[in-house]
Amino acid sequence: MAYHGPMTPKILVPLLAALCARGASAQEPAQLMQKMAGVYKHRFMSATITPGKAPGEADEPYQAEDVIEIVPYDADHVYVRVHLDFYNGHTCSVAGMARYEHGAFVYRDTLSLAVAAYPPCTLKVSEEHGQLTLTDRATPDAVSSCRAYCGVRGSLNYSIGIDQRRAIRYLDRLKASREYKRAVDELNLAR
């Protein structure tokens, strides 16, 4: 049923407020995408344990690197690829499309590598206090939901300064990668 009476302030003010709120909420994913989009890298020295030696006694050092890539895909989705290195060669690696939900982008594993003891992988990517923050836990003390994507020493609870963000200069190569194409295919199948 449509209203055909005069536009009084009593009607106009709530209508304008609703339209402004809708416009603001539509801008939130775009603003967050713009703030997060890019590549984040952190290089550090790590090591592998020499068999028969205690940790730290005869470790073999190597250069390790954490890499997070975030690429806008459409109005509500970003492509996220995470590769994190840990001691003794353990890693966490996951890639897929994350959808905007309640102030963050959330990746949900659609093909489920979930282990029976763990819930399906859900990775939240957000910006908090100047940090790009990743978590795969519903609450701080909850079980890690993306355990299947990590080695024994790995975890997808991670943060890095937003100021570490750099432009992705290899965007064409990234978009041609198997991981990116698989993420696009999975998103299209879910729609």
**What is the per-residue pLDDT across 11-66, written as a single tens digit (0 to 9) for each?**
544 544 444 444 445 579 999 999 999 999 999 999 888 777 776 676 788 999 99
User: Is residue 111 predicted with pLDDT exceeding 50?
Assistant: yes
- Under DSSP, the state recorded for 183 is H
139 pLDDT tier (thresholds 50, 70, 90): confident
Closest of 52, 41, 146, 59 to residue 98, by C-alpha: 146
Amino acid 18: pLDDT: 46
Counting residues of the chain whose pLDDT is more than 90, the rounded percentage is 61
Amino acid 26: pLDDT: 57
Amino acid 117: pLDDT: 58
The tokens describing 94, both together, are: 């996951």
Contact criterion met (CB below 8 Å) for 87 and 155: no
pTM: 0.81
The residue ranges of every structural domain in the chain are: 33-190
Closest of 161, 179, 148, 165 to residue 80, by C-alpha: 179
Contact criterion met (CB below 8 Å) for 114 and 128: no
Instruction: Please enumerate in sequence order all residues whose Cβ is within 8 A of that of 142, keeping only pairs 6 or more positions apart, or say none.
Output: none
